[in-house]
Structure 1
């Protein structure tokens, strides 16, 4: 696969060529950088030393693999890999998912690609993770729609993806019929994590798929009483002159506008709580306005350099946002926002390449983050940050993943069950 290493040459390309080059290089994380045993996405990879030696994490990331599957669809559509090669790769990924330990149908946050054994994220987070499973299912459903050919390989793949999707016991995660979903369950610790999922955050897709599931679905009231509740659901305040209808202060980290919307098309997507295109666009504008205002005076921030979200930083990993800002910018924050602010994001993209060059642009696209205040540039890439770059850039260009996901019959049913309106919603057959 072509490897674009010269950032200044890239920055001189026309918009469409530049976007494609960034998508293609970033996709290499999921193609060349995948787990050797399963071809699923590793949680992270690290480049070290003058030679750029590549160190692989040994943990497969379930949510990151869902985004990776969506990126693979882009790669086929763009001709970076052949359809046959993609089907072969998906077959190995499918086999690994089928041998994985599941918990009432859900996957853990991390697993071993070779054995399928769970790798605990923390002492009590050692089993089922409903949110990561929902990101995976979003990718499985897009692949099921895209690889629609009538061949034995494709038919088996679709059937197995259906099995994985149908066996998720979404209703189990109401902890016995409560009007809220819980994030984790463990056979060792039960509901000890006790993490109720309330919005506004990245978990819209979790509730949506839970309501859309053909088996083990939740009642719509769980969405309305569970997700649409809590102290960070209704906002109604103004930041930098921009009203924010839902969410925490300043809207929170930008991945809220990316993860669920890799599949859910926010254009014209409305329910009784929000117009999601308007909401997400406001969130991006507030995040950008904060970096331009730069109240803490961090070096580098400005119209050409913004984007706060969850990522690595000089001290570890943090969900960065305007209320939790330590000077660390994450390329995925702006780049995956391309649909919401195209001109502003292209300005950032060219700035990153020309100003920071190979400190930020490496083997698998942009490194995870950087902090000019500390003179720190990450040597890591994270699956959950690289994936949305490829997918959301493609959604801006062609709407490919949006069209695939929104055409899924179960998604159509979910839109109706939750009383969403969408241009993609077709009338049910009489």
Structure 2
């Protein structure tokens, strides 16, 4: 439970508390020997390569905010980059990755594949985005920071993005050693823009020039509650790529035709979630002006129960979305700070409402993956309803990064200067805005502790 009165804090002080609490997740759940970070704080859980990407992006923020020494950030960053550089690759079972990609979940100690999981294209992209942040931030002239820059470039360039297309113009979602590529690709708008930007930018094995256009051809443009929006149900789809790339004012062919951009689309989508909660078509408890936000996250489990005389299925970990569902009354409160750059007024109001009305779900200003007030005072649940156990690295990482982009633009400015990001955006057809401006010097930061 939160220990200080949030109502007495200024907006910046409040955000500082939430951001620092989220940042602490990475220091508490990292293996310092190999830099791997657990997917969740639950006991005996494996590492997620995407969470490592978020961690590598958060360490520079920790340095700039004075939450860790620069040398400590260098140490953890090098541990991760050295591990991925030396870890076994190949088409067999007992490896870490293949073709420069990595398996979604890895054993925290050995770094080998667990759970027979897939070689994940998008999670590798999120890992690579974090690796490129590290290479952009650590610009010191000492040997250790020079090694970070070298390894970042080597790891990014060895990913065989063209292979990951299979026989399709779009990228495959995953691959397994016994069955090959998964039988589905990317369809509809989602978090994959950063995947396509990085894959098209590759100097050595880029995806085909038509890959991005083939993906955008599957987009679903909707008019919802009177607003035109490129639809992606869960809010994380409108947040993850934006954690690294500032899409405000730059447009691809699709957005030029719609006279919009992806930043504006995320703003509209954030308001759409609030409007959906206002309508509250299923009568879930708490939904309203200041309690909204459906996304991918933990849930109360697989069972059915009645709400307003209608039977609903309640799910475990799932991607919930608005307005077309699925929806079981489970709110993802980390969605508020993760959407902060797009709609600061309603996100701050939601954060303050959460602390005022549901302080029991906030663990020392660290936000849970999800909570469900509809289940309060029901059998199996206490008076507070259901609250996710433990915390998830993806949730905590997006909170740290998007609060920082709102406060200082640190990650956005670092990635604006990255030649791979600029080249990938250009090959995907993005023009205008900051892409028309010359590249400035990359931020290097300093230890303010």
TM-score by length of 2: 0.86
CA distance in 2, matches of 1:360, 1:148: 40
What is the Cα deviation at residue 106 of structure 1?
A: 0.1
Q: Is the 8 A contact 2:264 2:342 kept in 1?
A: no
CA distance in 2, matches of 1:319, 1:30: 23
CA distance in 2, matches of 1:185, 1:379: 31
What is the Cα deviation at residue 219 of structure 1?
A: 2.2
Q: Verify: 1:314 aligned to 2:300, yes or no.
A: yes
Structure 2 partner of 1:291? 277
Q: Verify: 1:117 aligned to 2:127, yes or no.
A: no
What is the Cα deviation at residue 408 of structure 1?
A: 0.2
Q: Verify: 1:12 aligned to 2:22, yes or no.
A: no
Q: Verify: 1:367 aligned to 2:368, yes or no.
A: yes
Structure 2 partner of 1:172? 163
CA distance in 2, matches of 1:82, 1:422: 38
What is the Cα deviation at residue 426 of structure 1?
A: 4.6
Structure 1 partner of 2:403? 393
Q: Is the 8 A contact 1:168 1:216 kept in 2?
A: yes
Query: Where do 5+ consecutive residues of structure 2 fail to align?
Result: 88-95, 256-260, 302-315, 376-384, 440-449
Instruction: State the Cα deviation string for residues 71-128 of structure 1 (Å, max 9, x = none).
Output: 11111111111111110111112233224322110011001132121113xx5x44x2
Q: Is the 8 A contact 1:334 1:348 kept in 2?
A: yes
**What's the RMSD between the two structures over aligned residues?**
1.7
CA distance in 1, matches of 2:33, 2:298: 26
The one of 212, 216, 220 equivalent to 1:228 is: 216
Structure 2 partner of 1:94? 81
Change (3 A) 1:215 1:11: farther
Q: Verify: 1:301 aligned to 2:301, yes or no.
A: no
Instruction: State the Cα deviation string for residues 147-193 of structure 1 (Å, max 9, x = none).
Output: 111110000111111111111100001114x31110112222212x2
The one of 194, 197, 217 equivalent to 1:205 is: 194
Q: Verify: 1:219 aligned to 2:208, yes or no.
A: yes
Change (3 A) 1:353 1:172: same
The one of 81, 98, 104 equivalent to 1:103 is: 98
Runs of 4+ in 1 over 3 A off after TM superposition: 5-8, 426-429
Q: Is the 8 A contact 1:364 1:381 kept in 2?
A: no
CA distance in 1, matches of 2:103, 2:211: 23
Map 1:259-338 to 2 at 5 A. Answer: 259-274=240-255, 275-315=261-301, 316-322=316-322, 323-338=325-340
Q: Verify: 1:66 aligned to 2:67, yes or no.
A: no
CA distance in 2, matches of 1:206, 1:179: 14
The one of 322, 325, 342 equivalent to 1:340 is: 342
Q: Indicate the SS of the match to 2:293.
A: coil
TM-score by length of 1: 0.89
The one of 150, 155, 172 equivalent to 1:182 is: 172
CA distance in 2, matches of 1:427, 1:397: 22
Structure 1 partner of 2:149? 158
CA distance in 2, matches of 1:7, 1:144: 37
The one of 387, 391, 400 equivalent to 1:377 is: 387
Number of aligned pairs? 401
Query: Where do 5+ consecutive residues of structure 1 fail to align?
Result: 47-55
Instruction: State the Cα deviation string for residues 351-398 of structure 1 (Å, max 9, x = none).
Output: 1112222x2221571111100011111122111111101101111111
Q: Is the 8 A contact 1:292 1:302 kept in 2?
A: yes
